[in-house]
Chain A
Amino acid sequence: MNTILIIEDEILIQQSLKKLFERKGLKVDVSASGKLAIDLILNNHYDRIICDLMLQDISGFDVIEESKKKFSPEEISKKFVIMTAYNSPQVLSRANAYQCRLLNKPFDDLEQAMRTMTE
């Protein structure tokens, strides 16, 4: 685990997470836009991608869909961690379809959330 991409449009969350991961010695890229994130994903290597669902331009699911160009479903299920504040049944079932890890915002326990994201 060396490189990580954080896709999150709430800058305070994005930057805080970035600093938290950097403290753990990881190389972190960030993107507030879904479209930019797709570019980054297709042109760089990331061990882990933390993706918020509600972005300003497109949804986190769209980002995952686009990433299918590069990754197999199995890779997607391992690489992506979905972050969401809206865990409606529809969102949950869609996230389950990708078999990704799912984190609810706000995190109940920061340490545990960090472990989920970096494991």
Chain B
Amino acid sequence: MENRPHTANEETTEYITLFIDPQILSDFEFIDISRFKIADEKNSKLSLLKKGDRLWVNFADGEHCDFPYYYKNVKSILAGIELQKNLRVSTNEAFDGFIKTTQNMEKKVFSSVSLNPGENVKDLWDEIIKKVNLISNESHSLRSLMEKLLDVPFLQKFESSLVILHLKGQTKAELLGIIWRSEKTQSLIEVKDFNAFFNSIKKSKIKSFSSDTFPKMNLPFNGSFLAKEVMSKKYSMVAIVSRHDFLSYSKEEVELFETCIDLLQPHFERLIDQEFSDKRISELRVCLKDFPLPLRIRDNISGSAFMNDLYTSELQDKDIFFNKKVQGPFSLDLYDSDELRHYAFDLFHFQRISLLGELLNTLRHELSNPLFGLKLGSQLFSMMDVNTDSKEIMHEIEKNVNRCQVIIENFSNLYQIQNESKPVALKKIIDESIVLSKSEVREVRKSIQYLNNTENIELDVPLIFVVQIIFNLIVNAAQAMKNMEGTKELTLTINAEDKNVYIDVFDNGPGIPADKLSQLFKPFFTTKSQGTGLGLVLSRNLALKMGGNLEYLVNNSGKGAHFRLMLPRT
């Protein structure tokens, strides 16, 4: 060993230069080499090498120690080196310190296998490591891995082998594994109970426990057990083995078990990754199964790759109202269905409303300034010495600008309050609806009648919902009367009872033919060439949402249409 002058000066302090076998780095990806001074094998004081099942630690003078090849040993050695580095001692001291660490560790490791006196310790270790490697390669699920774990030499007298796994973000943890060496077991555990359990395992120094200590876990056996926690980015997990008796475990058994779990960690990771992704797929399938419209995923080879419960073979291509190529050979079809589709439209509708809200906000900001300019300009001109005619025109411009401003304000106020409901005067609701529909009902004679002092009633409903419904009814009425000869009349009457208010919208148009009445509130039913057939459906949905209703009242005169919006009083 090289003898260097001892110095406490930090700048001349050298830390052990280290070589780590690339194989070790790839086996234990979690080693952070940035924390060490890494050199090539020739120039390093210490080399960590993988030789078969052994970990070799080569010293610069040609000496070597070997250890069972597992993560824990690599970790302890590296931790020893890092400790010296952090203490900022010079090379020689660091080296001495390192030797002490490895010697301690060696002692610990070799004492830990003394539970089988008479056997060659190295052989036992080799056997354990071989077995662990074998079972981890043979296992294709977490459960089978746990099952095979009981074949590892020192665990052959154990009865159960379990894991409790909590995938981050899930509301339950899952216990699975085998008891009595053959009986499969599986159960779910509340996350908070699991967390408490996990923490007690983590904090405990002895790692040997009794099932009585954790009544909430409902462990499927009675007696003492060994447990070791494993944590990664995606999950936290506790591995458990038990002999189903009440004897406590030896220090050696604890060490061996911990070592096994350490060794298995990369395999846990792999298996959980696999099973987790399978689980996600099955969860996605369940979601699709519950989709409220008939749905089919087609592939161009076998036809149907997936269908949900609402899909029936009677459905035909003409019933498809939405089709999208998804990925690879797959395409997704959604079919029309009377009962259920309004759910979907509700969703589209709300998306549209919030989009519209944003749009309106932008519009308001963008239009306000030019409108203000127009207003100022026209005010300026009407102050100047121009003739009366021009003044009048300027005045008209100003009036129109004001009107634009009011409309923009109204619209954006409407959308600002969104779904919030706060008491709003019934009269305000009606006024807003009239202002918004002004251009649609230009040639229509309007009359609004408040009965029983309903002007002053306040409703605890979202303004936007009600305005939208009334706006819709007014526009419908106006359009129904559009090509009509004679006077077009629109009447709104507002009335109230103890519990409800009624807003009735009458027109004197052609009315709804009796044979069309049953379809009136069905999606896509429309009598207009440009209509979507959604207005009344959405309006009724909104009314129902507020605890009210929207209905068509058949009048006996056979003329005109009469819709009634009922809303609950606060």
Which A residues are closer than 8 A to B by beta carbons? 10-13, 15-17, 19-20, 23, 85-86, 105-107, 110
Partner of A12, one of B365, B368, B377: B377
A13-B376, A106-B405 given; name 17 further pairs at CB < 8 Å.
Answer: A10-B369, A10-B370, A11-B373, A12-B370, A13-B369, A16-B376, A16-B377, A16-B380, A17-B376, A20-B380, A85-B368, A85-B369, A86-B365, A106-B368, A106-B375, A110-B376, A110-B379
* Known contacts A85-B369, A105-B369, A106-B371; is-contact A12 B376 (Cβ 8 Å): yes
Cβ–Cβ < 8 Å partners of B370 in chain A: 10, 12
Which B277-330 residues sit within 8 Å CB-CB of chain A? none
Cβ–Cβ < 8 Å partners of A107 in chain B: 372, 376
Judged by DSSP, the binding face of B is helix
Cβ–Cβ < 8 Å partners of B405 in chain A: 106
| A98–chain B nearest beta-carbon distance, Å | 22
Instruction: State the CA gap A85–B405 with chains docked (Å).
Output: 13
| A112–chain B nearest beta-carbon distance, Å | 13
Instruction: State the CA gap A15–B377 with chains docked (Å).
Output: 8
Which B residues are closer than 8 A to A by beta carbons? 365, 368-377, 379-380, 383, 405
Assess the A12–B379 pair: CB atoms within 8 A. no
* Known contacts A85-B365, A86-B365; is-contact A105 B372 (Cβ 8 Å): yes
User: Number of residue pairs across A and B with beta carbons under 8 Å?
Assistant: 43
| A109–chain B nearest beta-carbon distance, Å | 11
Instruction: State the CA gap A11–B377 with chains docked (Å).
Output: 10
Cβ–Cβ < 8 Å partners of B375 in chain A: 106
Instruction: State the CA gap A31–B405 with chains docked (Å).
Output: 26
Q: Which of B371, B373, B375 has the most CB of A within 10 A?
A: B373
Cβ–Cβ < 8 Å partners of A106 in chain B: 368, 371-372, 375, 405
Cβ–Cβ < 8 Å partners of B365 in chain A: 85-86
27 intermolecular pairs with C-beta atoms under 8 Å apart? A10-B370, A10-B372, A11-B373, A12-B373, A12-B377, A13-B372, A13-B376, A15-B377, A16-B373, A16-B379, A16-B380, A19-B380, A20-B380, A20-B383, A23-B383, A85-B365, A85-B368, A85-B372, A86-B365, A105-B368, A105-B369, A106-B368, A106-B371, A106-B372, A106-B375, A107-B376, A110-B376
Q: Which of A19, A20, A106 has the most CB of B within 10 A?
A: A106
Instruction: State the CA gap A48–B375 with chains docked (Å).
Output: 23
Instruction: State the CA gap A98–B549 with chains docked (Å).
Output: 54
Assess the A10–B373 pair: CB atoms within 8 A. yes
Closest residue of chain B to A12 (Cβ to Cβ) is: B373
| B418–chain A nearest beta-carbon distance, Å | 18
Cβ–Cβ < 8 Å partners of B372 in chain A: 10, 13, 85, 105-107
Cβ–Cβ < 8 Å partners of A23 in chain B: 383
Instruction: State the CA gap A12–B372 with chains docked (Å).
Output: 9
Cβ–Cβ < 8 Å partners of B383 in chain A: 20, 23
Instruction: State the CA gap A107–B372 with chains docked (Å).
Output: 8
| B513–chain A nearest beta-carbon distance, Å | 49
Cβ–Cβ < 8 Å partners of A15 in chain B: 377
Instruction: State the CA gap A12–B377 with chains docked (Å).
Output: 7
| A12–chain B nearest beta-carbon distance, Å | 3
Instruction: State the CA gap A10–B376 with chains docked (Å).
Output: 11
Instruction: State the CA gap A12–B373 with chains docked (Å).
Output: 5
| B109–chain A nearest beta-carbon distance, Å | 64
Instruction: State the CA gap A19–B373 with chains docked (Å).
Output: 13
Instruction: State the CA gap A117–B370 with chains docked (Å).
Output: 21
The 7 closest A-B pairs by CB, nearest first: A12-B373, A16-B376, A106-B372, A13-B373, A10-B369, A16-B380, A16-B377
| B379–chain A nearest beta-carbon distance, Å | 6
| B400–chain A nearest beta-carbon distance, Å | 14
Closest residue of chain A to B401 (Cβ to Cβ) is: A106
Instruction: State the CA gap A86–B368 with chains docked (Å).
Output: 10
Closest residue of chain B to A110 (Cβ to Cβ) is: B379
Cβ–Cβ < 8 Å partners of B377 in chain A: 12, 15-16
Q: Which of A12, A23, A110 has the most CB of B within 10 A?
A: A12
Instruction: State the CA gap A85–B409 with chains docked (Å).
Output: 13
Cβ–Cβ < 8 Å partners of B374 in chain A: 12
Q: Which of B365, B371, B372, B379 has the most CB of A within 10 A?
A: B372
